[in-house]
Amino acid sequence: MSDNKDFLRTIVEKDLKSGKYKEVITRFPPEPNGFPHIGHAKSICINFGIAKDYNGHCNLRMDDTNPTKEDTKYVEALKDAVQWLGFDWGENVHFTSDYFHKIYDYAITLIKMDKAYVDSINEEEMREFRGTVTEAGKRSKFAQRTIEENLDLFERMKNGEFKDGEHVLRAKIDMGAANMKLRDPLLYRIRHAHHFRAGNEWSIYPMYDFAHCLSDYIEGISHSICTLEFENNRDIYNWVLDTLELKAPRPYQHEFARLGINYTVMSKRKLLELVEGNQVSGWDDPRMPTIAGYKRRGYTPESILNFCDQIGIAKANSMVDVSQLEFCIRDDLNKKVPRVMCVLDPLKVTIENYEGTEDLSSPYYPHDVPKEGSRNIPFSKEIFIEREDFEENPPKGYFRLTPTQPVRLRHGFIITCKEVIKDANGEIIELKVEYHANSKSGSDTSGIKVKSAIQWVSSKEAIKSEVRVYDRLFKDEAPEGLEDINPDSLKVIKNALVEPAIVLDKPDERFQFERQGYFYADPIDYTDEKPVFNKIVGLKDSWGKKTNTDKPTTKTSPKQEAKKEQVVGSEVAMSDEQTALFDKYTNELGLNSEVANILARDKKLSSFYDESLKESNSPVALANMIVTEVARELKEKELNELKFNALQIAELVEMLEISTISSKIAKQVFEEMVKSGANPTQIVEDKGLVQISDPNIISPIIDEIITKNPDNVEKFKAGNKKLLGFFVGQVLKSTGGKANPQVVNQLVAQKLK
Ligand code: ATP
Ligand code: MG
């Protein structure tokens, strides 16, 4: 069980203690209209997790009340996801459609109690009669139908005598209810559609609000856990069960916050768009945030469970950073998988003073992984190294092979470059080198100092493989749709070379390709003849790293690891100076270790950062701006070539921090600073991005948003004060981030009073 108890477990414990329920029975109730995503994983963890913790049971229930969108393939995907995450739903999967007859009978009971009626007004009237937040609705004249009439019509609806939309069954509750959901909600609608399980038996289908509570009751559910957007539906849930006077114990609904992740879209509708628009290869494309996608990519169930546990269960919606999920998988694999060598972009190297072949026996695991196992790495005269591990004109701080700087072949010998061979276009096609016979890894007596060790493979024995390098599917932090897709989310490398043991010895299906990242033998396309590997995740957060000229390597993010990289044959250990900076950034300024790592290792970035700090109260926001935006500029330029300076960036971040401008506008301003070097404040003024504080301008915008969101107004008035943020957010959005948030806040609060 998780260490700190969340509010749901607190409720469950209380209910068990008071004897309200003998056993905890939860359910995970997806609609089978798409593949489950990471948000569902969270719901699965909560529902199955709670049942497990309290020796109860969790049902897997397909909420299949909408015949037009559902399909068996989604049922299979849902089962697969639950199973893969390690949970057990017991004997059988439940389906709401199995209860169609019972639910129908409950509807008859309500009609007989005069608590439900057949309504026949059209959609337009229905909307009109519903009223608004401030005005009560009006009941349809059909509400006066007699019980006999209603029974007759409802049966004929069932028998298919009417067209879609001609009649509906509604609960008779209260057209003046403050909670608008209670204004005679629909219970059944006519739908002449084939149902994937019930076939053509039904011409009417129950609505969520009617079917869900009853399905929970029929299954003996104790705690019906759902996401916050169902908060207002809770009253109907209770009304149905109470009005029917069902035998105790009956279930109660509890809401928690939905999981949202940045750089990710997470609604089945949007995911379906990606699939149908061929933006991805299918629901299980390794870039998809679906369980099937993560599974295909090589994520482990443990890493997903860990992630769900880490983010916890909250009552307020929030956005989780995708790098937290990436951290969880990296952290899991770091403890488990063999380290092997793969060369993605091979450069031929001939060792002139070596003849014959030999096997270098080398462990699969570093010392801190408690696993045993080793393999032989064949070594010979002709090998391949990574093209980027040789530089003819190295930049300062380049630690790998150069014409004058030797390097170690990981698990092997030190080599020194003798000759660079180029083709007619001047491209390097081969290196001639010498090896140092007395420098063998583990018994090195050569006395030669090298600054790094690089991966390599022997040309004869290496196995050609396809490597699929995945990156985030969206380039925008809050993607809206197809326009935000990252065009470089997939790179297929056809001619990568892997050391033979990966294929012939197969110590695992997941590997760390040293200095490259974690990879997984694709469960579908891999064969020994034609190996295919998927990149699971990099060794560090590459979204911050794009900046470094020299690629730091190996597992990094936890602080200790950033410092001890040398252990795993990587190249860049931090200097004392860098370590001191890193410590200052993490301990004093509160930066996370990835950001601190990037800054500390890059002289240009850290000096820029230190300079900008002089004018800033926001070290964290500033650091983020520098490792993302500024770093991109510094990749190709020197500090003195930038048009903008450190203090201007501090100014920009400050504007962002006090919400004078939104982050979208900040990006826009930054682009302008790159081009013109103008002051951010000036740019904001010139371009009319300056905030709007005039109540006469803001007021009508607020009015419009209030009119458009009656449900939320309702909830706010009923006590959900958190919704103030929703309204403020909407106003900011509709003014392109230009409205002054404080003014908006005041006005919204006034108007909603
Ligand atoms: P989507 O909006 O992505 O289509 P949904 O809510 O319509 O999702 P359902 O199949 O109805 O999907 O969801 C099944 C269960 O999973 C519900 O209890 C729902 O609350 C929960 N769930 C769905 N998305 C999330 C999420 N992002 N975070 C947490 N729980 C979620
Ligand atoms: Mg839904």
- Structural domains in the chain, CATH included, are 113-206 (3.90.800.10), 347-362+372-458 (2.40.240.10), 576-680 (no CATH), 695-751 (1.10.10.410)
> Is 318 close to ligand 1, i.e. is its CB under 6 Å away?
no
Q: Which two tokens stand for residue 690?
A: 């300056």
Contacts of 38 (CB under 8 A, 6+ apart): 259, 261, 264, 266, 289, 290, 291, 294, 304, 307, 325
In this structure, are residues 567 and 553 in contact, taking their beta carbons and an 8 Å threshold?
no
Residue 572: the pLDDT is 57
- Strand 259-261 versus strand 318-320 pairing type: parallel
Residue 695: the pLDDT is 86
Q: For residue 1, which of 65, 45, 67 has the smallest C-alpha distance?
A: 45
> Is 258 close to ligand 1, i.e. is its CB under 6 Å away?
yes
Residue 76: the pLDDT is 97
Q: For residue 170, which of 154, 188, 182, 153 has the smallest C-alpha distance?
A: 188
Nearest CA to ligand 1 atom 2: 267
In this structure, are residues 733 and 724 in contact, taking their beta carbons and an 8 Å threshold?
no
In this structure, are residues 30 and 285 in contact, taking their beta carbons and an 8 Å threshold?
no
Q: Whole-angstrom Cα distance, residue 595 to residue 116?
A: 60
Residue 100: the pLDDT is 98
CA-260 nearest atom, ligand 1: 27
In this structure, are residues 506 and 535 in contact, taking their beta carbons and an 8 Å threshold?
no
Q: Sign of the CA dihedral 404, 405, 408, 413?
A: positive
> Is 549 close to ligand 1, i.e. is its CB under 6 Å away?
no
Positions in the chain whose pLDDT score sits under 50: 1-2, 544-571
> Is 29 close to ligand 1, i.e. is its CB under 6 Å away?
yes
In this structure, are residues 298 and 534 in contact, taking their beta carbons and an 8 Å threshold?
yes
Helix, strand, or coil here: 188? strand
Contacts of 564 (CB under 8 A, 6+ apart): 573
In this structure, are residues 98 and 124 in contact, taking their beta carbons and an 8 Å threshold?
no
Amino acid found at 480: E
Q: Whole-angstrom Cα distance, residue 243 to residue 109?
A: 10
Nearest CA to ligand 1 atom 14: 30
Q: Which active-site residues does the annotation give?
A: 31, 258, 268
- Strand 428-436 versus strand 414-422 pairing type: antiparallel
Q: Which ligand is nearest to the CA of 226?
A: 1
Query: For residue 529, how many other CB atoms are within 10 A of its CB?
Result: 7
Q: Whole-angstrom Cα distance, residue 500 to residue 504?
A: 6
Q: For residue 461, which of 382, 352, 518, 387 has the smallest C-alpha distance?
A: 382
Sheet with 94-95, edge to edge strand ranges: 25-28, 57-62, 94-95
Query: For residue 267, how many other CB atoms are within 10 A of its CB?
Result: 11
Half-sphere exposure of 703 (CA within 13 A, CB side): 6
Q: Which of the 8 DSSP states describes residue 483?
A: G
> Is 227 close to ligand 1, i.e. is its CB under 6 Å away?
yes
Amino acid found at 258: R
Q: Which two tokens stand for residue 677?
A: 């070097």
CA-258 nearest atom, ligand 1: 28
Which DSSP helix (H) or strand (E) runs through 318?
A: strand 318-320
> Is 30 close to ligand 1, i.e. is its CB under 6 Å away?
yes
Residue 677: the pLDDT is 92
Q: Whole-angstrom Cα distance, residue 702 to residue 98?
A: 46
Bridge partners (DSSP) listed for residue 225 = 254
Residue 4: the pLDDT is 64
**Burial label, 563 (beta-carbon count in 10 A; 0-12, 13-18, 19+):** middle
What is the C-alpha end-to-end distance of the chain, expressed in Å? 43
CA-225 nearest atom, ligand 1: 18
By most ligand atoms within 8 Å of CB, the mutation choice from 227, 262, 290 for ligand 1 is: 227
Q: Which residues of 89-128 are buried (b: 16+ CB within 10 A; e: fewer)?
A: beeeebbbbbbbeebbebbeebbeeebbbbbbbeeeebee
Residue 571: the pLDDT is 38
Q: Which two tokens stand for residue 654?
A: 């400050």
- For residue 68, the CA-to-ligand 2 centroid distance in Å is 14
Provide φ and ψ at 379, rounded to 5°: -120, 140
Q: Whole-angstrom Cα distance, residue 657 to residue 668?
A: 16
- For residue 91, the CA-to-ligand 1 centroid distance in Å is 24
Which DSSP helix (H) or strand (E) runs through 724?
A: helix 723-734
> Is 313 close to ligand 1, i.e. is its CB under 6 Å away?
no
> Is 746 close to ligand 1, i.e. is its CB under 6 Å away?
no
Q: Which residues of 320-359 are buried (b: 16+ CB within 10 A; e: fewer)?
A: bebbebbbbbbbbbbeebbbbbbbbebbbbbbeebeeeee
- For residue 268, the CA-to-ligand 1 centroid distance in Å is 9
Q: For residue 171, which of 105, 110, 128, 100 has the smallest C-alpha distance?
A: 110
Q: Which ligand is nearest to the CA of 47?
A: 1
Amino acid found at 539: L
Q: Which two tokens stand for residue 71?
A: 């399909």
Q: Whole-angstrom Cα distance, residue 21 to residue 220?
A: 10
Contacts of 439 (CB under 8 A, 6+ apart): 408, 413, 414, 445, 446, 448
Bridge partners (DSSP) listed for residue 384 = 348, 457
- For residue 306, the CA-to-ligand 2 centroid distance in Å is 25
Q: For residue 499, which of 594, 424, 409 has the smallest C-alpha distance?
A: 409
- Strand 374-380 versus strand 357-363 pairing type: antiparallel
